[in-house]
A and B are shown apart, each in its own frame.
Chain A
Amino acid sequence: MIYAYAITAGAPPADVLDGAPGLADAPLAARTVEDVGAVYSRIERGPSPTREDILRHEQVIETLMRGRPLLPARFGTVLRDEAALDHLLTINHKGLAAGLDRIRGCVELGVRVMWDAAGTEVDEADHEPSPGATTGTAYLIVRAAQERRRRSTEARAGELAANLNRLLRPCAKDGVVRVLPSPQVVMAAAYLVPQDRTGEFRNRVTEAGAAFETLKLLCSGPWPPYHFVPELEVPRG
């Protein structure tokens, strides 16, 4: 079996491949179809979702992405052999080449926005009616109040996310925004940012943090462009 880490523009140089051991310290290798490459290593067994394997997957990709366009593979991508990899590169060549062009010169930055403690919209007591209101009209009144609060929270989160996105999006080539992915998180977003604008982007996050005092903003990255990869034709089964 082989384990795929990333799609690259051409094949990475041998010294780069030699400098980044793969899962279980297996050496990396590369295949190319025309100008599109793939980096992989041979494995004896499938990867486990352990901290060690996940970090190794990320370490390999971050090493490979220095100085070259790269599309990271999802963790757990296992193929039968090199011939299967060549086949996938061939049938998806156009989409992969376009995907590499799209992210060329860019990195992904993450922005996670949480309600701050003082401004939290989360109230665990809201999740269920109180024991004393479990029957009849009282129950329905509690449920109606909860529904009003839920809608109000959703509206407020949507408005905040739109305002933040208006501030950050102009610094980016593309963006993916999820509003209220969990009760504690107002917005989880990923932006594809040109490398020469990452400083400007981070400054805007800092400005937003100062402007929205009831929110906690976390800017992470630079990441490989996980959110900005093409969908491919994949043989199933």
Chain B
Amino acid sequence: MSSDVRTNFATDDEAQHALSPEHELTMLELLDRVLDKGVVLSGDITLSVADVDLVYVGLRVLLSSVEAARRRRGGDELPPSQVVAP
């Protein structure tokens, strides 16, 4: 089973990324990159580890909320393993 998620944060409306579990997974993919990869030009990256953790915690809560909402609606439920943070 596979899913293909095309990312285009340059043109998509943010609202499109708000509640879909697959878009939230894509948001996690984005965070993995933006916060942890990329060229380090400065010795003074301004984010502390705690800040980064808070971003992840926030998304975990959001993912849980999305999944709970789907269950309440009786929609197609994704297995829990698909909606957890890395």
Chain A interface (Cβ within 8 Å of chain B)?
Answer: 4, 6-7, 20, 38, 46-49, 51, 54-55, 57-59, 62-63, 66, 71-79, 85, 88, 96, 99, 108, 110, 112, 114-117, 120, 122, 181-182, 184-185, 188, 190, 202, 205-206, 208-210, 213, 215-224, 226-227, 229-232, 234-237
In the complex, the answer to whether A202 meets B40 with C-beta atoms within 8 Å is no
Contacts from B to A (Cβ < 8 Å): 1-10, 14, 22, 25-26, 29-47, 51-52, 54-55, 79-82, 84-86
Nearest B residue to A62 via CB reads B10
Q: Are A78 and B42 in contact (CB under 8 A)?
A: yes
Chain A residues whose CB sits within 8 angstroms of the CB of B51 once the complex forms: 48-49
A-side interface mostly:
mixed
Given A55-B14, A223-B7, decide whether A114 and B37 contact each other with a Cβ distance below 8 A: no
Partner of A234 from the list B40, B52, B54, B80 (CB cut-off 8 Å) is: B40
Complex CA distance for A231 and B40, rounded to whole angstroms? 7
Q: Are the CB atoms of B1 and A234 closer together than 8 Å?
A: no
Instruction: Give every chain B residue within 8 A of A184 (Cβ-Cβ).
Output: 80-81, 84
User: Are A74 and B39 also in contact (CB < 8 A) when A217-B2, A218-B5, A223-B7 are?
Assistant: yes
In-complex Cβ contact of B84 among A54, A88, A182, A205 (8 A): A182
A62 touches B82 (CB 8 A): no
Q: Are B81 and A4 in contact (CB under 8 A)?
A: no
Given contacts A110-B29, A188-B86, contact A115 B41 (CB under 8 A): no
Contacts of A47 in B (CB 8 A): 46-47
Residues from chain B with Cβ under 8 Å of A62 in the complex: 8-10
The answer to whether B47 and A75 touch across the interface, beta carbons within 8 angstroms, is: yes
Q: Please, how many angstroms separate the alpha-carbon atoms of A129 and B72 in the complex?
A: 33
Q: A184-B81, A231-B40 are in contact. Are A54 and B2 (CB under 8 A)?
A: no
A236 and B82 alpha carbons, distance in the complex (Å): 39
CB distance from A38 to the nearest CB of B (A): 8
Q: Contacts A116-B79, A220-B7 given: A234-B14 contact, CB under 8 Å?
A: no
A47 to B85, CA, bound (A): 23
A77 to B35, CA, bound (A): 10
Set of chain A residues within 8 Å of B81, measured between Cβ atoms: 114-117, 120, 122, 184, 216
Which of A4, A75, A218, A227 meets B2, CB within 8 Å?
A: A218
Q: Is the CB of B41 within 8 A of A77?
A: yes
Chain A residue nearest to B52 (CB atoms) is A49
Q: Which of A49, A181, A227 has the most CB of B within 10 A?
A: A49
With the chains together, A195 CA to B43 CA distance in Å?
A: 33
* Most chain A Cβ neighbours within 10 Å, of B46, B47, B82: B46
CA of A213 to CA of B1, assembled, Å:
6
**Does B2 lie within 8 Å of A209, measured CB to CB?**
yes
Residue of B9, B38, B55 with highest tally of chain A CB at under 10 A: B38
**Shortest 4 CB-CB distances between A and B: which pairs?**
A209-B2, A117-B79, A62-B10, A226-B37
Given known pairs A47-B46, A185-B86, A220-B26, the reply for A75 and B4 (CB within 8 Å) is no
| A59 close to B42 (CB less than 8 A) | no
